[in-house]
A and B are shown apart, each in its own frame.
Chain A
Amino acid sequence: MSAPRASGPAEKTGNVVRDSAMGLIPETVSEILKLNGHVWRDSLVPPSILETIRLRNARTVNCVFCKSVRYDVAIEDGLTEERVSLINDSYRESALPPREKAAITLADCYLGFPAGADQKAAADIASQYSEDEIASMLVAVMTYNFTSRMAVSLGGMPEDGTLPIMQMSVSASST
């Protein structure tokens, strides 16, 4: 494990996010927790689609924590480890449903260097999602991306492959 580059506030609250380094910025930590809640609870696409996007981001950023987490609402929505295993470089040829493939395509457009959508990607995304749904997914991927990059940037990340799969409740990560 790398050494953490910042420690949490001296006064602990019992909330894992508020007690982390993010708690050093009271001006933003509460809104970030609320944002995570809104992303999951008020999304215009189902939780299993959101989890597909989140895990695609986690894999790209290589956030060990993020890769090991599965959100409860996504599991309740039908996400399985078999489906998670298909979120890889060969996803286009996989058995994933077209809507999940298009969600991964959108995530890759966002995560790319350079970011952006070519004609084929744009057509694939538009064939499966409305403009409202695309906006909802883009807010989600922005949220997953900046929080996972934050976790990596602040250090303290375990070695890859050392964490078990852990279930996370939306309520625990949004209050």
Chain B
Amino acid sequence: MIAINSINLDSALTRAGPAAESFARIWKTIWSQRYIKPEELELCRLTFARLHADEDEIAAPNANVPVLSATRRQAVLAGKALESAEFTAGEKAILLLAEYYWLDPQSITDEAADDVKKHYGEPGLVLLIESLGIIDGRIRTARVLRDLKTAKS
């Protein structure tokens, strides 16, 4: 049985009603917008899964994106993407900002934000920051729900 994770979270939240439905629509939208490629957001999801040390999240298949190459996936999960030739300069800019964001949004440097804007423009920066919050929020919520379920059983 697959544990609750950021990808399958909506089924666990439907009981919350219209707010959960609205959140699910935003989640769906971030995987089909035109500013940041879904594959680039998947790199961020895996980065957060690594930072949370969340094995259930790492194992979760994401049908919203094409399957990543094993080399790229392993590099992200090992925390080596920023030094790897497998990633473009734009992807590295995204992943560096994601790491700052996860640690603390106040730690994001102007240089890191400017580098994302250089590759993706202001809309790209805004969409990325929105998406990072939504992805991390869903990972966090899945973790809390898993723990509550375990405690109950």
Q: A residues within 8 Å of B by Cβ? A: 3, 5-7, 21-22, 24-25, 27-28, 31-32, 34-35, 38-39, 42-44, 61-62, 106, 109-111, 114-119, 122-123, 125-126, 131-132, 134-136, 138-143, 145-147, 149-150, 152-155
* Docked pose: A141 CA to B101 CA in angstroms: 17
* Docked pose: A140 CA to B20 CA in angstroms: 9
Query: Would A27 and B29 count as touching, CB distance under 8 A?
Result: yes
Q: Is B78 an interface residue (CB 8 A)?
A: no
Query: Would A145 and B137 count as touching, CB distance under 8 A?
Result: yes
Query: Would A115 and B52 count as touching, CB distance under 8 A?
Result: yes
Beyond A28-B26, A42-B17, A145-B137, 19 additional contacts (C-beta under 8 Å) are A25-B35, A35-B19, A109-B147, A114-B54, A115-B139, A115-B140, A116-B144, A132-B16, A136-B17, A138-B144, A138-B145, A139-B23, A141-B137, A142-B137, A142-B138, A146-B134, A146-B137, A153-B129, A155-B113
Residue of B nearest to A40 (CB): B19
Question: Which of A22, A35, A125, A141: most chain B Cβ within 10 A?
Answer: A35
Residue of A nearest to B17 (CB): A42
Number of CB contacts from chain A to chain B under 8 A = 157
Number of B residues with CB within 8 Å of any CB on chain A: 53
**What does DSSP make chain B's interface, helix, strand, loop or mixed?**
helix
List residues 123-153 of chain B with CB under 8 A from any CB of chain A: 123, 125-127, 129-130, 132-134, 136-141, 143-148, 150-152
Query: Would A34 and B22 count as touching, CB distance under 8 A?
Result: yes
Residues 109-128 of chain B, each 1 if its beta carbon lies under 8 Å from chain A, else 0? 01001000100001101110
